[in-house]
Amino acid sequence: MEGPMGLLAELTYRCPLACAYCSNPIEIAAYRDELDTATWQRVITEAAELGVLQCHLSGGEPLLRRDLADLVRTASELGLYTNLVTSALGFSESRAAELHDAGLDHVQVSLQADEPTLSDRIAGTPSFERKIAAARTVRELGWPLTLNVVLHRQNIDRIDRVLAAAEDLGADRIELANTQYYGWAAKNRAGLLPSREQLAQAEVTVRAAKERLRGQMEIIYVVPDYYATYPKPCMGGWGARQLVVVPTGDALPCLAAHELPLPPANVTEASLRWIWESSPMFSAFRGTDWMQDPCRSCDRREIDLGGCRCQAFALTGDATRTDPVCHLSPDHGLIETVVEEANVDTRVDLPLVARPHR
């Protein structure tokens, strides 16, 4: 078994934004007891010993951790490529300089839209101008800049203007990722899932932009699972290439795995190596032996690996079932019903339940 390539360190779930598509757990209060600096440094060290090459520092908002530069320095000294995933609120020039001196390699800034009114409404707080200023600071300090834009029915019609804004900022890469329906996004699915017409136009726009900006800006476009014919392998396969550690120390194969009925694996109670190699949390759905039909007898079982276990559990209550996104799944009707509902009521301003500020 190979070791993981990437560690996603969810340093805190505190966040100044209140995005209605947030993938953080609904019960945020359960994550107040955050790992201290020394424990995070041990986790990062153990990750490097496992073979991890990339350390992604995220949240919530990782800039709310006063020890962020210390954690960046630890990862950098271990030879890990460090990436800050941030809302950019709190990314002052002095804080940026501190992180630069600590050895931070890359910054990924979230953007909700291309203009202040919509962006601030989606984020739940005035933030657009600070995000733009932070993106410019990233470029001034010589970091590669990635913009991450979560797409949904309330902003996907402006994808051409979002791309223009990214081009103006000199972004090296932009991730246009349609919402994944976990956490707060699951609660707000009716107001977030785009229509077929919106998706069709977005794909035309993205295709043209990829051609025009080839060699200048990398464009990653992720279609919504609910409109796919086949599911995609979650995180490159369950417990295959990535691991997540959340603020309280639970280690997970993916962001939503805390919802599954599996014994928790916490870095305060076991080594990261044991968790990766032997814990039920990571071994439960590795490979293909756990599969039932139609996955077990499907020619694609080594390609999509049964799809997303968290999505299967969220929609059916059984994490071993075929991801209902797959058109071969006996539960695919659940997806078809949701998609049809999204194409009956196509208003783009349906009400959303915002994630509370913390």
> DSSP readout, 104-163?
--EEEEE---SSHHHHHHHHTSS-HHHHHHHHHHHHHTT--EEEEEEE-TTTGGGHHHHH
Q: Residue 326 annotated as binding? A: no
Q: How far is CA 124 from CA 149, 275, 352, in A?
A: 15, 37, 11
Those residues with Cβ within 8 angstroms of residue 130's Cβ, 6 or more apart along the chain or in another chain: 88, 89, 91
**Does 308 count as an annotated binding residue?**
no
Both tokens assigned to 42 = 């041990």
At residue 98, φ and ψ (nearest 5 deg) are: -60, -45
- 22 annotated binding-site participant: yes
For 7, the token pair is 């560690």
Binding residues for [4Fe-4S] cluster: 15, 19, 22
Which parts are annotated binding residues?
A: 15, 19, 22
